[in-house]
Structure 1
């Protein structure tokens, strides 16, 4: 089962799973938070490996995280996960199944793509405009941490779309999202007195994985392009 897993992937998953288990008992974390964090970690490490099975863990994580966010009045996070991430998991399964490599020799199931310079420019313009507009909406409905929440949500949506389309640059967006969300949960937990610290650990694990994911997907894309060029020669 783990024959195509690297030592880093096994170590990363093992360490953060043990941390989550420890937090669950030491800090009396909620069971829902524990389930959300564990399923989320399995999801992101499988995305980094280019595995379609990531979406099954993603369904569990999206549903549980949406509810937890709602209880803390983080409406942006709740809407993002419940109304966008959850249904899009099914679309992701369909899209990735249409673009399989036909071989998972290098650990991945799908063909990775790269974004052009024009694509980056369009991405940046949309990100700034959408973040400003969404911040206004969150302010109107009384959400907490409006600015951070808005940027995190918008970039998350863009990153998820890039993920479905199999672009390696999704990971750059995820890195920014993870940093913002760590700040968001840290401020929220300190000000609310909540005990769902598993969320903070989960997002820290996501950040480390997103850096690894970016490096791994660039490797996958380069390797696939080399193999394609060799096959056409």
Structure 2
């Protein structure tokens, strides 16, 4: 057991430790200063750690993603962001469950990281068409529920769904899509905070900002993982 713990701790790079440390420090600091909601704090901290694990190609990232989603759903519902609620209940949580299943089916030779692959061009074309069709549908549904920040909420759902799908497909493109999603979410919560005058939600913006850099790291790390796996003939 001790050897496994030591091996687990040694698997972290200095940059990964930096991302987690600076992320938690910033969230904690802003939480104390602005009196953040405990649910927002939990969602932010778990989210920061989870994204780093996903960037590492570890199944722990998807498990933490499910836990984070529960807290995030509650915070979003309280603040009238019903699009985020729908997104996480119907898409993010189920997709994280699929990601866990995919990890066990496609773990690489090191038994720690997932095998990285490219999504077929045909699947990408279908995904693009489905995305275009889904945009007006999602917009109409969210408008019916009187969702706050309607346009941003619509794009948050669409982009996150695409990114999560690519994560299930084990494609490094997922991180590029999630970088875009981070920018949308940051904008969404800035608008929300301005509208409701609630600075206690700032940790969520900090979370997404840190995740932005974690996803940039994910692109680099998954590219390295893919090259390494190809050299070893792991798939």
Normalised TM-score (structure 2): 0.90
1:222 and 1:214 mapped to 2: Cα distance? 12
Partner of 1:76: 83
Higher helix share: 2
Q: How does 1:170-189 map to 2 (within 5 A)?
A: 170-189=174-193
- What's the offset of the Cα at 1:116? 4.0
Partner of 2:147: 143
- What's the offset of the Cα at 1:184? 0.6
User: Number of matched residues?
Assistant: 227
Partner of 1:211: 216
Aligned-residue RMSD, C-alpha: 1.7
Partner of 2:201: 196
Unaligned ranges ≥5, structure 2: 1-7
SS at match of 2:9: coil
- What's the offset of the Cα at 1:159? 1.2
Deviations 1:116-136 (A, max 9, x none): 444433333222221222111
1:157 maps to which of 155, 158, 161: 161
1:201 and 1:185 mapped to 2: Cα distance? 10
Normalised TM-score (structure 1): 0.91
Determine whether 1:222 maps to 2:227: yes
Unaligned ranges ≥5, structure 1: none
